[in-house]
Amino acid sequence: MLRRSLFACALMLAGVVGFASSAKAVSEPVTLSGTIPTACIIDSVVPGTLVASGDNKTLSSTLSGGAAATLNINCTTGTVSLTPPTKTGGDPGTTLDGDIETKTAKLTLSDTTSVDSGATAIPVAAGAATVNLVATDTSAVLIPGAYTFSTTVTVTP
């Protein structure tokens, strides 16, 4: 009985070893691919705050109490530009856009390069950016009331 058991075990062991040695390793390359789109995204836009100068001739986001508008640029390559600001809203009776002698905006990118409104586009730097705005009437004080200005940031891939 013991012989039969030993013989059966030996036969099973020989079979396992025989089958195991006939198995061969196989390899096959696996490829993964993807595409980065040539699109740029501007998001997380937070409006800025303008404050009046002591002589009420200037509204600016750079004066004490003002705040730059902020935005995020998600773009790996391309250029960025900024349009000249225009008065887009405010209280009735406030100075018309044409009565404000100078309106300038400046976009500062995450790498601290900047572009003035209406200037030639500069290479884009992805990340957080700020926009500051100054509106001045040097010949007279600005009419009391609320003012809203707009400038457009354009990123071209």
Query: Which two tokens mark 48?
Result: 């800025």
* pLDDT at residue 96 is higher than 60: no
- Average confidence (pLDDT) over 52-64: 93
Q: What is the pLDDT of residue 69?
A: 96
CB atoms within 10 A of CB 47: 14
- Among 92, 97, 99, 119, CA closest to 107: 119
Q: What is the pLDDT of residue 100?
A: 67
Q: What is the pLDDT of residue 15?
A: 56
**Better-scored residue on pLDDT, 20 or 34:** 34
Query: Which two tokens mark 108?
Result: 């500062």
Q: What is the pLDDT of residue 34?
A: 87
- Among 147, 131, 119, CA closest to 58: 147
- Average confidence (pLDDT) over 81-100: 73
**Better-scored residue on pLDDT, 56 or 93:** 56
Candidate ranges 64-73, 85-94, 134-143; pick with highest mean pLDDT: 64-73
- Among 75, 67, 66, 83, CA closest to 109: 75
Span 105-132, pLDDT tens digits: 898 988 888 999 888 888 988 899 999 9
Q: What is the pLDDT of residue 54?
A: 94
Whether the CA torsion 148, 86, 130, 42 is positive or negative: it is positive
